[in-house]
A and B are shown apart, each in its own frame.
Chain A
């Protein structure tokens, strides 16, 4: 019927080939989005140039992209840990919120502590709160085999509403003219900027944590066990790997990393807690993790790319009044095309042989 058919590759696709497939997927997604701009009555060439210029075209734009890449990177590093074990943690968004809440709690309770004491305490509480938000679905899954996808997702909604409850209620700044936000953090509770740039020291946290995760998966026994169990649960169990304990571990690690991102967003970016920090970084993180095939270094690149797209879309909104939802369309398309492109890792098209 078809002149082409799908055949299995002898060897999985190499690095160059994979890169080409992912690159093509990105180009295809951008082309499809440009088409949509056209149907929306916007010039696609002008739109796309504004998008790319706004993302990477100037020093200011690049700095903004890196700034947004910081929370996305940490959340993505987190979900990638869980995805390695094929545990579907969709809850980075909520774990991020809990991290911001935990950090804020410390910052508001002990504003006069010295910086070298206060910041680590905030990070610790952010990781504990984010980790707790990951622990609950992990325990439910381990004990009762409850589906972690839906539980983590529901806990996102709950976390965002909890954040709302706090900033509209008990933590509300009395001098904010009714705006839902906490008072500004004390100077000791704020992570500063690097030199004269607008980028904060969170970037250094990212490098440190990214390296740590790379070492963890490359050189530690537990890291290896997670990878092995992710590839084949039954074989791993047979080999005596404590799978159930790994589920708990990856979910807590995952949550703690997203929590750290929440800490940075509250402390470094907005210097307080407010609902506007919840812009869906936790979901973008999933796109990034998948785009990067879960490798820490690639996650860094993909995070900057997707953060850049977010900044570009903001520009598009300002200049051409394109709705902000356009960003979601691009992200969805990227995820779908990259996923479809995954077929070529193990399969290829071949011409039908004549018999």
Chain B
């Protein structure tokens, strides 16, 4: 393999890792508040559809991108109602969100199958894109990739340095103590759910507006579930999520290359790679669980009658 192919592959890695990065960051944001949302897959595909439809109707992909975030928030609000108002089991509610979201997106999207929408075009960042190797890998992408670079540090700052971030983490660690300290735990959990849903929606929109400019019903192909796994791999830290997302971006890019190169391996075996890798990565991270920042009250509802 020569250098150019490697650089192209790494650039493709960043691109296919970006939707997973958005979704993983969204799930970290939600889980930090103590709420487990297994509906990422469903929320992502709804975001993908919303972004696609809005971009197609208005001709403006930026508007589509934001619409996807808003739809992501609205969709996760259903999870919020079930878990925060009705104290429903978070695992089951998340699964239901995946079933509902996938169904809704395919139902509403039927008429758009095979059509295309205006998406984002690559934009080379001045100066930075001229750096050898680093430039082509990181700075010759569509603008959404650059947006994704900014979120992990911003989220870290939010958690580590702001009042709201501290409150959100308190709601996830020890809700009873947070309540005693005068925090509105339920409000913080709402923030976690709806805020996280925004990023999940953006991740979906990346798939329909930048990765492809097309709508197909199986656009997400398990990426939402991979994101849920990556939260564990990332030890609930936004910075580590980058490595995880690009690891999967890499394997997906490699899988596409191998398929295009006409390898002897059957495509079904190639397609298995990301899922096998997810299990592998999970097993690896459970070995070092002690170093993780898992919220202590993750998945535990607060009683309705206080």
Which positions in A face B, CB cutoff 8 Å? 5-8, 36, 40, 88, 90, 140, 144-147, 149-151, 153-155, 157-158, 161-162, 164-165, 168-169, 283, 286-287, 290, 322-333, 335-336, 339-343, 347
Partner among A150, A325, A339, A342 whose Cβ is within 8 Å of the Cβ of B103:
A325
Q: Is B95 an interface residue (CB 8 A)?
A: yes
Bound form: Cα–Cα A9–B98 in Å: 32
Candidate in A145, A162, A335 with the most chain B CB atoms within 10 angstroms: A335
The residue on A at minimum CB distance from B83 is A339
Q: Is B305's CB under 8 angstroms from A161's CB?
A: no
Q: Is B225 an interface residue (CB 8 A)?
A: yes
Contacting residues, chain B, for A322 (C-beta < 8 A): 107
Q: Is A329's CB under 8 angstroms from B104's CB?
A: yes
The residue on A at minimum CB distance from B221 is A157
Q: Can you report 10 A-B residue pairs in the complex whose CB atoms are below 8 A from each other?
A: A153-B225, A162-B268, A168-B266, A283-B99, A328-B106, A335-B99, A335-B100, A339-B93, A340-B81, A347-B304
Partner among A144, A157, A331, A339 whose Cβ is within 8 Å of the Cβ of B86:
A339
Contacting residues, chain B, for A325 (C-beta < 8 A): 102-107, 110, 217
Classify chain B: how many residues form its interface, as a range. Answer: 35 or more
In terms of DSSP, what is the predominant structure of the interface of chain B?
helix
Bound form: Cα–Cα A6–B87 in Å: 12
Q: Is B82's CB under 8 angstroms from A336's CB?
A: yes
Q: Is B91's CB under 8 angstroms from A88's CB?
A: yes
Bound form: Cα–Cα A324–B304 in Å: 37
Bound form: Cα–Cα A153–B226 in Å: 10
Bound form: Cα–Cα A347–B303 in Å: 10
Which positions in B face A, CB cutoff 8 Å? 38, 42, 78, 81-82, 85-89, 91-93, 95-108, 110, 217, 222, 225, 228-229, 232, 266, 268-269, 271-272, 275-276, 278-279, 282-283, 286-287, 289, 304-305
Q: Is B304's CB under 8 angstroms from A6's CB?
A: yes
Bound form: Cα–Cα A149–B78 in Å: 21
Q: Is B275's CB under 8 angstroms from A157's CB?
A: yes
Partner among A40, A144, A151, A339 whose Cβ is within 8 Å of the Cβ of B88:
A339
Q: Is A151's CB under 8 angstroms from B232's CB?
A: no
Bound form: Cα–Cα A8–B103 in Å: 35
Bound form: Cα–Cα A278–B300 in Å: 33
Q: Is B268's CB under 8 angstroms from A323's CB?
A: no
Bound form: Cα–Cα A287–B85 in Å: 21
Least Cβ–Cβ distance between A152 and chain B, in angstroms = 10
Least Cβ–Cβ distance between B84 and chain A, in angstroms = 11
Cross-chain pair count, CB within 8 angstroms = 153
The residue on B at minimum CB distance from A160 is B268
Contacting residues, chain B, for A341 (C-beta < 8 A): 86
Candidate in A331, A332, A335 with the most chain B CB atoms within 10 angstroms: A332
Contacting residues, chain A, for B283 (C-beta < 8 A): 140, 144, 146
Least Cβ–Cβ distance between B298 and chain A, in angstroms = 11
Contacting residues, chain B, for A342 (C-beta < 8 A): 86-89
Q: Is B229's CB under 8 angstroms from A154's CB?
A: yes
Candidate in B82, B100, B107, B305 with the most chain A CB atoms within 10 angstroms: B107
Question: Given A342-B88, A347-B305, A154 and B104 touching (CB < 8 A)?
Answer: no
Least Cβ–Cβ distance between A65 and chain B, in angstroms = 20
Contacting residues, chain A, for B217 (C-beta < 8 A): 325
Partner among A146, A339, A347 whose Cβ is within 8 Å of the Cβ of B92:
A339
Bound form: Cα–Cα A287–B105 in Å: 19
Q: Is B289's CB under 8 angstroms from A329's CB?
A: no
Contacting residues, chain A, for B100 (C-beta < 8 A): 328-329, 331-333, 335-336
Contacting residues, chain A, for B92 (C-beta < 8 A): 286, 290, 335, 339
Question: Given A144-B286, A339-B82, A161 and B271 touching (CB < 8 A)?
Answer: yes
Bound form: Cα–Cα A283–B101 in Å: 14
Partner among A6, A151, A287 whose Cβ is within 8 Å of the Cβ of B279:
A151
Contacting residues, chain A, for B287 (C-beta < 8 A): 144
Least Cβ–Cβ distance between A24 and chain B, in angstroms = 13
Q: Is A332's CB under 8 angstroms from B97's CB?
A: yes
Partner among B103, B278, B305 whose Cβ is within 8 Å of the Cβ of A6:
B305
Q: Is B87's CB under 8 angstroms from A343's CB?
A: yes
Given contacts A154-B278, A157-B275, A343-B304, 10 further A-B contacts (CB under 8 A): A7-B305, A140-B282, A140-B286, A161-B272, A283-B95, A339-B89, A339-B92, A339-B93, A340-B81, A347-B304
